[in-house]
Amino acid sequence: MIPRGLIEEIISLGLTCGADYAEVFLEDNTKTTITYDNGFIDDALTGQDYGAGIRLFKDTNIVYTFTNNLSKDNLLCITEKAAGCLQAPKQDASFSLVEGIALNRHRVLAVPSSVCIGEKVRHLERIYKAARDYSTEIIKASAKHWEMDRRRTIATSDGVVWSDRSVYTRVFINTVASNGIEHQTGFKRPGYVMGMEFYNNVDVETIAQEAAKTAVTLLHAREAPSGVMPVVLAKGGGGVFVHEAIGHALESVAISKGGAVYCDKLGKKVAHEKVTLIDDGTLPNQWGSINVDDEGIAATRNVLIDKGILKNYIVDRMGSRIMGLPPTGSGRRESYRFAPVSRMTTTFFAPGPDSEEDIIKSINYGFYAKEFGGGSGNWITSDFDFTVLEGYIIRNGQICEPCRNASLTGHAVDVLFEIDMVGNDQGDFHQGMCGAASGSLPVGNHISQPPPSESGIVQLVVVCLLVMALLLLG
Amino acid sequence: MTLDTFKNMFEAQAAEFDFDDWELHGICTQSLEATVRVDERPSITRSQVCGVALRVLHNGKIGVSFTERLDEHGACFLAKAAQDMIRFTDTGVSAKVFTPDSGIRYQSIDNYDPVFENEDYVIDLATTINEYVCQLDLSMRQFQSTNAKVDNKQVVVVNSRGVNLAHKYNYLTLFLHPTASQGGKMRESEVFASVNLAGGPNIKALCTRAVETARDYLTADVPESGTYSVVFRNSIATHLIQGFAIFFCGEQVSKKISLVADKMGEQVASSALTVIDDPLLPEGILSCPFDAQGVPTRKKVVIENGILRSFMHNLDTAAAVGSESTGNAWRISYNHPLEAAPCNIYIMPGKYNEQELFEMLGDGIYITRLVSTFHGAGVNAVSGDFSMPARGFKIKNGKKCDALELFTISGNYYDLIRNIRACGNDLLFGPPNMLIPGAPAEYGNYGSPAVLVDGISVAGK
């Protein structure tokens, strides 16, 4: 996008103007969406993001500037102006870059932009048909193909310039069931760091039928009860709990400011001993995976909690500087329009010792949360909440009638000790988008156990998890 | 390259393609964002981005593309990408671009304030507010930060039928979360304010209220579960209108997703509710004399005393239902799809102050904080079901009493708008999703006074 010499010149200028760290981020990103809605393609959009972000540190002070005017004059001008905000004395700085190559763990067999639109439309037609034909109560279905071919260059004053290309393919399946008086919805959003082979590797028609089944089930579901009760979080989408309740509170953007609930807790017991929590950006082709983060640090497998003991945080470069811990390849951003901060990749509970059957059987009266909506977590108060799109009453060790309109909420610091059983079936990861300060990012989550379900916010792998005494708000 | 130069280059490029019509929507944004903390230098983010979205038509079919490369390569990519899509799209209606008649008039709006170009002004304002909060409560110094952001925008809409429009506007937004702490327990509240040339809310008054609220939360109790009448604080009620306004938007109506799609002229809400969408509102931060398709914008009554009076359509959704555009075609930015969406939409203020609403309420709950208010989080945009964790206060005999937390309110927005008993007189515009990083990409600026609503289901202890 711009010559190596100009990148070196920008970093040199930042350092000369007093910065003690300078970073250039370049992005050339092509995206396409095609929506097949009730029998025809009603929306299609192809576009190109193309811009640069320049970030400077002086001690713990940060200045960020971004532009899509990539002329030399403009880039040098905005760098100098940004450096002025640091109010640091000028210094001598000579600088040159060497090229690094990050390990690519994500094989892509068919780059989507090289495949004709007609083939994408044919996949959408079969997904749509599978959802629409599930029941006469399904009045509407849509399938949206989403692809992104993201080319990044990250150069830092560490002296290395990284180039990376990541290809994402995803399909959004939405269904509406109606009885003429009210509507209910179901959705699924499978996606991978993968090319068009996604449509062969993933059984998208079965997933479409599951989305339709959720909408129909909810049409006949009762309102959820309320109260404090044992809750079983289904494997897969139940990982939204991991993401909202714990993950955000372990990000260095929260910890480094002080005051967050998990500050100064390294080496201390923060959860039941059955809990091992991992954030892993290296899983091949997984939705939340990366090769190198947006600060030029290679992805890592980061054990955050090991058998209930807090072992590490999710650390970006500034967090590393403030907290004195190594960065964990977690500095991420939606695009050059955002400065990177510490974010999750694929976050999950490692499988535990319990079977799903035993978990369900252990409950006299409780709630089984199967399909999840979005939620939020507060790293200061440790409050979390997330919605349960589809849930079921557990009575006498059996999953019984479906419920809708439930939220689960609590204080994470307490709830982590209330986890009583952890499922032994790793299951599939869940794909979602996480919205935070550096934009909307692909992330994965997981709890292990029943069939994979979908979270609107994150990809999470959770082992089927029994949380005693979680507050259910119906 | 400027938008003007690019638009001329594109016109020449378009002639080489077999388009019946085309429409270019360009947006340039220059922003400054300052985050101020106690005893630290401000953290600054500056930006300048420009891009264009293209819509092309051929035999009634549409192709859409966007680019940030305002050069020859970008112009060529834009035309080619849109053309590739044309043969696959079919909206079921004959799409058009806007054709202005000879007498067309666009209202003149001046909503560009040069003072916002002054970076020191923005940083000083954030610093002043931050210091003000710390003076109100010294214990808040450790966590207190204030974020101020200015967006300076230039928008152009050009099409093959003679539309050639440009508008420049800017606004400032402030976000802060005063956090009270005591004995290791912490509770936060929030302040959002939007300001433009026409003014904005009393920011210090909002901060004072938020600091007191955060402190009160420290001693909060959990309410009993049950069905309550509730007063929503004005800043919180802005989330409600952001939740239900989608029922009246063109796409939901034309696709019959909205349960009020065929209720024009009928009573769909309480007679206490009047909803206005006004793209010409002086203090509306998104005000613009034309929409993203070049159609003149106008003030419209969406709901009048509970009766459905107007939907919000763009040219395409209007054509699908045999209606006219209401000037509600908007894009969050050039890299987002065209929506039929509100601009500056608000609940019409009533005559009551907050204390009078408490007295009308008698016994109930005053909601001062909601989370997961987004579509896809605590709100289902199709069914209208909502379930949102909340904080607030008990109201007893018309008086504000103890703070409440750890409860969820739930219900359905189609029912909620029928159950509004009264509206306050304190209109405030809240934080629009489109300005919150990571929130769902939905256009619009949403305002509301405090509202009194009956029949809200509360799950507590």
Domain boundary among the residues B217, B252, B268 is at B217
Q: 3-class DSSP state for residue A418?
A: helix
Helices B3-14 and B72-86, packing angle to 10 deg: 50
Q: How many CB atoms lie within 10 A of CB B119?
A: 16
A137 contacts in B (CB within 8 Å)? Answer: none
d(CA B33, CA B49): 14
Strand locations in B126-163, DSSP E?
Answer: 145-159
* Contact across the interface for B92 and A383, Cβ inside 8 Å: no
Over the stretch B290-323, which tens digit does the pLDDT of each residue have? 999 999 999 999 999 999 999 999 999 999 999 9
Comparison of pLDDT for B343 and A227, the residue scoring more: B343
Q: Torsion-angle region of residue A38: left (phi > 0), alpha (psi -120 to 50) or beta?
A: left
Within-domain flag for B15: no
A64 contacts in B (CB within 8 Å)? Answer: 44-46
Residue tagged 């307490």 (tokens): A414
B380 contacts in A (CB within 8 Å)? Answer: 185, 373
Give B265-301 as a DSSP string: TSB-S-TT--EEE-TT-TT-TT--SB-TTSPBP--EE
Mutate to test the interface with A, among B88, B117, B175, B375 (most CBs of A within 10 A): B88
The interface predicted TM-score (ipTM) is 0.85
pLDDT at residue A456 in the model? 23
Over the stretch B358-380, which tens digit does the pLDDT of each residue have? 999 999 999 999 987 877 777 88
Domain boundary among the residues B198, B217, B236 is at B217
* Contact across the interface for B41 and A140, Cβ inside 8 Å: no
- CATH 3.30.160.40 in chain A, residue ranges: 112-153+164-212
* Contact across the interface for A436 and B437, Cβ inside 8 Å: yes
Give the residue from chain A lying closest to B144, CA to CA: A257
Closest CA of chain A from B146, distance in Å: 14
Half-sphere exposure of residue A12: CA atoms within 13 angstroms, side-chain side: 12
Confidence tier at B433 by pLDDT (50, 70, 90): confident
Query: Is residue B35 a contact partner of residue B170, using CB atoms and an 8 Å limit?
Result: no
> For residue B216, what is the enclosing H or E element?
helix B203-217
d(CA B19, CA B21): 5
pLDDT at B1 over 80: no
Average pLDDT over residues B28-36: 94
Residue tagged 């892509």 (tokens): A108
**Which DSSP state fits A59?**
T
d(CA B367, CA B451): 10
d(CA A211, CA A454): 9
Q: Are residues B253 and B345 in the same domain?
A: yes
d(CA B261, CA A452): 35
Q: Are residues B42 and B136 in the same domain?
A: yes
Query: Is residue A378 a contact partner of residue A411, using CB atoms and an 8 Å limit?
Result: no
pLDDT at residue B380 in the model? 84
Q: 3-class DSSP state for residue B115?
A: helix
**In this structure, what are the phi and psi dihedrals at residue A120, rounded to the nearest 5 degrees?**
-65, -40
Alpha helices in A220-279 (DSSP H): 240-241, 252-255
Query: Is residue A333 a contact partner of residue A294, using CB atoms and an 8 Å limit?
Result: yes
Confidence tier at B91 by pLDDT (50, 70, 90): low
pLDDT at residue B450 in the model? 98
Domain boundary among the residues B217, B242, B261 is at B217
Within-domain flag for B7: no
A-B CB pairs within 8 A amount to 224
Instruction: Report the percent of chain B where pLDDT is more than 70.
Output: 98
pLDDT at residue A467 in the model? 53
Residue-range definition of the domain harbouring residue B94: 20-217
Confidence tier at A91 by pLDDT (50, 70, 90): confident
Pick from B50, B142, B143: CB nearest A68: B50
Instruction: Report the percent of chain A where pLDDT is more than 70.
Output: 93
A117 contacts in B (CB within 8 Å)? Answer: 84-85, 88
Pick from B47, B65, B372: CB nearest A67: B47
Q: Mean of the per-residue pLDDT values for chain B?
A: 92
Within-domain flag for B396: yes
Our separate counts of H helices and E strands in chain A read 10, 25
Read off the tokens for A309: 């003991």
Q: Are residues B290 and B198 in the same domain?
A: no
A320: Cβ contacts below 8 Å, ≥ 6 apart: A252, A326, A327
Range from A384-393, B82-91, B330-339 that averages highest in pLDDT: B330-339
Range from A431-435, A470-474, B83-87, B266-270 that averages highest in pLDDT: B266-270
Confidence tier at A432 by pLDDT (50, 70, 90): confident
Within-domain flag for B13: no
Structural domain count of chain B: 2
Comparison of pLDDT for B8 and B282, the residue scoring more: B282
pLDDT at residue B241 in the model? 96
d(CA B49, CA B28): 6
Within-domain flag for B2: no
pLDDT at A337 over 60: yes
Find the farthest-apart pair of alpha carbons in chain B and give their distance in angstroms, rounded. 74
Q: What is the CATH number of domain A4-101?
A: 3.30.2290.10
Radius of gyration of the CA atoms of chain B, in A: 23
d(CA B390, CA B230): 12
Q: Are residues B252 and B348 in the same domain?
A: yes
Give A300-329 as a DSSP string: -EEEEEETTEE---B--HHHHHHH-----S
Strand A40-58 with B61-67, pairing: parallel
pLDDT at A469 over 50: no
Q: Are residues B53 and B201 in the same domain?
A: yes
Break chain B down into helix, strand, coil percent, rounded to 5. 25, 35, 40
CATH number at residue B117: 3.30.2290.10
Q: A249-258, A430-439, B210-219, B280-289: lowest mean pLDDT where?
A: A430-439
Read off the tokens for A324: 């004195």
Break chain A down into helix, strand, coil percent, rounded to 5. 20, 40, 35
pLDDT at A447 over 90: no
pLDDT at residue B85 in the model? 82
Half-sphere exposure of residue B110: CA atoms within 13 angstroms, side-chain side: 4
Distances (CA, A) of B268 to A69, B306, B322, B454: 49, 6, 22, 16
Comparison of pLDDT for B256 and A437, the residue scoring more: B256
Within-domain flag for B105: yes
Pick from A44, A65, A223: CB nearest B85: A44
Q: What is the CATH number of domain A112-153+164-212?
A: 3.30.160.40
Q: Torsion-angle region of residue B199: left (phi > 0), alpha (psi -120 to 50) or beta?
A: left
Over the stretch A174-203, which tens digit does the pLDDT of each residue have? 999 999 888 999 999 999 999 999 999 999
* Contact across the interface for B43 and A81, Cβ inside 8 Å: no
- CATH 3.30.2290.10 in chain A, residue ranges: 4-101
d(CA B443, CA B432): 8
* Contact across the interface for A50 and B67, Cβ inside 8 Å: yes
Nearest C-alpha neighbor of A246 from the set A290, A276, A267, A287 = A276
B228 contacts in A (CB within 8 Å)? Answer: none
pLDDT at A457 over 50: no
Residues in a beta bridge with A335? none
Measured distance between the N- and C-terminal CA atoms of chain A, rounded to whole angstroms? 52
Average pLDDT over residues A211-230: 89
Q: A228-232, A374-378, B414-418: lowest mean pLDDT where?
A: A374-378
Read off the tokens for B130: 């931050």
Q: Torsion-angle region of residue B384: left (phi > 0), alpha (psi -120 to 50) or beta?
A: left
Pick from B65, B406, B438: CB nearest A435: B438
Read off the tokens for B406: 């750890």
Read off the tokens for B316: 């395409």
Average pLDDT over residues B153-166: 95
Average pLDDT over residues A34-58: 90
Within-domain flag for B6: no
A341 contacts in B (CB within 8 Å)? Answer: none
B114: Cβ contacts below 8 Å, ≥ 6 apart: none
pLDDT at A461 over 50: no
pLDDT at B239 over 90: yes
pLDDT at B172 over 70: yes
* Contact across the interface for B337 and A380, Cβ inside 8 Å: no
B337 contacts in A (CB within 8 Å)? Answer: 33, 43, 45
Average pLDDT over residues B234-247: 96
Nearest C-alpha neighbor of B388 from the set A474, A215, A415, A411 = A474
Closest CA of chain B from A407, distance in Å: 6
pLDDT at residue B40 in the model? 83
Give the residue from chain A lying closest to B84, CA to CA: A117
Distances (CA, A) of A418 to A231, A275, A407, A460: 11, 11, 18, 20
Give the residue from chain A lying closest to B177, CA to CA: A380
pLDDT at A466 over 70: no
Q: Are residues B242 and B283 in the same domain?
A: yes
**In this structure, what are the phi and psi dihedrals at residue A318, rounded to the nearest 5 degrees?**
-70, -40
Q: Are residues B206 and B234 in the same domain?
A: no
Query: Is residue A331 a contact partner of residue A404, using CB atoms and an 8 Å limit?
Result: no
Q: Are residues B394 and B417 in the same domain?
A: yes
* Contact across the interface for A48 and B77, Cβ inside 8 Å: yes
Radius of gyration of the CA atoms of chain A, in A: 23
pLDDT at residue A92 in the model? 81
Read off the tokens for A329: 């390849």
pLDDT at residue B185 in the model? 82
Pick from B51, B77, B389: CB nearest A385: B389
Within-domain flag for B4: no
Query: Is residue A175 a contact partner of residue A140, using CB atoms and an 8 Å limit?
Result: yes
* Contact across the interface for A407 and B388, Cβ inside 8 Å: yes
Instruction: Report the percent of chain A where pLDDT is more than 90.
Output: 61
Query: Is residue B130 a contact partner of residue B144, using CB atoms and an 8 Å limit?
Result: yes
Average pLDDT over residues A102-127: 93
